[in-house]
Amino acid sequence: MSEYFYDFLKTLVKEGKVKKDEPMSAHTTFKVGGPADYFIEPVNEKELSEVIAYLNKAGREYMIIGNGSNLLVGDRGYRGSVILLYDNFNEIRVDGETITAQAGALLSAIANTALENSLTGFEFAAGIPGTAGGAVLMNAGAYGGEMADIVECAEVIATDGDKVSFSNEELKFGYRRSILQVKPVAVSSVTYRLSRGNREDIKNRMDELAAQRRSKQPLEYPSAGSTFKRPEGYFAGKLIMDAGLRGYRVGGAKVSEKHCGFVINYNNATASDIMDVINDVTERVSRHFSVKLEPEVRIVGEF
């Protein structure tokens, strides 16, 4: 059955775009993770739709990733199919004051496109290390802005392979969440509503936020960005620091001294090392402050 499944997948996408036992360490910003059973790289929406329809019809588990910037995959890998959109779904189009980006387009590239066209509103997202699809899924945000502020609509592929559109209201954005997290759909593109601005002012704001990131975040180490959601009424990084966990290590993973809200891969960590740090931090903060930290990072696979 597995060989038939593999052979059929290969008929749905361009030759060479289906692999078996692909190491996920090559596709996550944590630089860790064991093999995915199947790794699929559709090159257009037709292939994506057909792959999704087939996987659902066959009852097979799958996940869709961009550049893997908010993802921790276990050392023993993922027992399912991974669909990569990062390399092929990165087209960005401008129409007046709207920008439409395919799901695999980097937020930094979208921000630069907005800058080039003197469109303001996207500056906060310029340094978020993610893609359009993942950002709308989790309502990514930074420096007082979030996707809910600028997303006009998202086009998704439903389980039967058909395309469906979700308006901003239908996306039901909340803190680091959207309705897409509980809908069995795949984001194919996102449209943003921006406004006209002064190019120099936009550039200055992007430069200012980039400088803040460099000074306050451990960008020199592999990580998944901010590891924990912000608990209501608190800041995760301060709670972790006040719990005495600054620099706390397990194997090659540790809490960053530069920003305690980041768990980093500082010395050839395993996924289990990172998971142990996350669990230990969660337990210690709960014990000290009776505050339950929740990972912002998506955790999948076998550890």
Residue 66 clears pLDDT 60, i.e. is over it: yes
Which of the four CATH numbers 3.30.930.10, 3.30.465.10, 3.30.70.1290, 3.90.245.10 does domain 92-215 have? 3.30.465.10
Q: Which pLDDT score is estimated for 2? A: 80
Q: Which pLDDT score is estimated for 1? A: 53
Over residues 106-129, the pLDDT tens digits come to 999 999 999 999 999 999 999 999
Q: Residue ranges per domain, the chain?
A: 2-84, 92-215, 219-296
Residues designated as active site: 176, 226, 296
Q: Which fold has domain 219-296?
A: 3.90.78
What integer is the mean pLDDT of 58-73?
Answer: 96
More confident site: 166 or 2? 166
Q: Which pLDDT score is estimated for 40? A: 98
Q: Which pLDDT score is estimated for 94? A: 98
Return the sign of the alpha-carbon dihedral for residues 191, 192, 193, 194: negative
Opening angle at CA 67, ends 106 and 107, nearest 5: 15
How does residue 4 score in pLDDT terms, banded at 50, 70 and 90?
A: very high
Residue 87 clears pLDDT 90, i.e. is over it: no
Pick left, alpha or beta for residue 131 (phi over 0 → left; psi -120 to 50 → alpha; otherwise beta): beta
Opening angle at CA 123, ends 119 and 129, nearest 5: 125
What CATH code would you report for 2-84?
3.30.43.10
Over residues 235-293, the pLDDT tens digits come to 999 999 999 999 999 999 999 999 999 999 999 999 999 999 999 999 999 999 999 99
Residue 84 clears pLDDT 70, i.e. is over it: yes
Supply φ then ψ for residue 188, to 5 degrees: -105, -35
How does residue 100 score in pLDDT terms, banded at 50, 70 and 90?
A: very high
Q: Which of 110, 93, 97 is nearest to 206 (CA)?
A: 110
For residue 98, the SS3 value is strand
**Chain mean pLDDT for the chain:** 96
pTM of the model: 0.93
What integer is the mean pLDDT of 191-196?
Answer: 98
Cβ distance 269 to 72 under 8 Å? no
Residue 105 clears pLDDT 90, i.e. is over it: yes
Cβ distance 72 to 271 under 8 Å? yes
How many whole angstroms separate alpha carbon 53 and alpha carbon 59? Answer: 10
